[in-house]
Amino acid sequence: MNTAEFCRNLEEVLDLPSGTLKCGDVLAQLEAWDSLAVISFLAMADEKYSAVIPPKRIPECKTVDDLVALIRETGK
């Protein structure tokens, strides 16, 4: 998985314009990052990267990069 591809997938599930997400973006500052976005991210991680992420790990993630690291850690 490369980070750029992940950003495009996350943009897709969060309904953001293509190319708007960057690695260092702070999740708390993204208007689209809400409880439904978290569920969407978890479903996308499972579907696209076979990564079953425990939801309690999500609060650890502060940036888009942290989400990528979490998928790399938990994915197959």
Partner 1 sequence: MSVNPLDLSGKTVLVTGATGGIGRGTAVLLSSLGARLIVSGRKLDVLESTGGKLCGVGHRVSTFDLARLEAIPEWLSGLIQEIGPLDAMVHCAGVGSLLPLRLLRTEHLEEVMSVNFYSAAVLTREFARKRAHREPASIVFVASTAGMLGTPARTAYSASKGALIAFAKSAAMELAKSGIRVNCVAPSYVATEMYERTMASLTQEQLNALVENTQPLGLGTPADVAGAIAFLVADTSRWITGSVLAVDGGYSAQ
Residue ranges binding partner 1 (CB under 8 A): 12-13, 15, 35-36, 38-40, 42-44, 47, 54-56, 58-59
CB of 50 to partner 1, least distance (A): 15
| Dihedral pair phi/psi, residue 20, rounded to 5° | -85, -25
CB of 64 to partner 1, least distance (A): 18
CB of 69 to partner 1, least distance (A): 18
Distance CA 12, CA 6 (A): 10
- Sort residue 16 into left (φ over 0), alpha (ψ -120 to 50) or beta: beta
